[in-house]
Amino acid sequence: DGQAFGPDGALVAVAGATEQIIAYAKDGTKHVIADGFRGNDLVVRHDGHIYVTQPGWNGTDPSQIWHINPEGKKQVVDQGLRFSNGITLSTDQSLLYVADTRSHWVYSYQIQADGSLANKQKYYHLHVPDTADDSGADGLEVDREGRLYVATRMGIQVCDQAGRVNVILP
């Protein structure tokens, strides 16, 4: 599933079938960073902290956001979204953005010094087709100017830092 490069150049990936987070070094060797949960998407901060979404795949388990510190210690840092999916960081890496696929929202969290999250809020309100109850939001990315790009049922929604959708690219 989700993949991102770490500060050391390793490719960090979610291996859903084996319920692992794996790092692949430049020489192709791999090692398990964390295990015991079936993640979906992930993001790696410049200091090696990793955040992983676990949607609650079966519809009854809680949707969770995991934090894995650079030493490999994992912990749940949030739960309660309907279906946590896409995940990324603000340009300055002080905020974590998480798409709730089964709603109209991308949530933001302030990242604390220890990697925990604070001040969860609905931040970006996404547009949905008339025939849908949710946005289907998945992949997220932020550009150098701080605009958030969200892959949704309607296309790529481009949001400004004030939380508004400025354009939808079909």
Name the pTM for this structure.
Answer: 0.96
Percent of the chain clearing pLDDT 90 (strictly above): 92
Q: What does the pLDDT average to over 2-31?
A: 96
DSSP string, 80-119: --SSEEEEEE-TTSSEEEEEETTSSEEEEEEEPTTS-EEE
Q: pLDDT value at position 133?
A: 87
Task: Give the torsion sign (CA, 24, 28, 32, 38).
Answer: positive
Residue 101 has pLDDT above 90, yes or no: yes
Strand duo 42-44 + 30-35: pairing = unpaired
Q: How confident is the model at residue 150 (pLDDT cuts 50, 70, 90)?
A: very high
Q: pLDDT value at position 67?
A: 98
Q: Rounded CA gap, 4 and 9, in Å?
A: 9
Q: What does the pLDDT average to over 32-42?
A: 96
Q: Rounded CA gap, 27 and 129, in Å?
A: 45
Angle at 10 between CA 3 and CA 41, to 5 degrees: 15
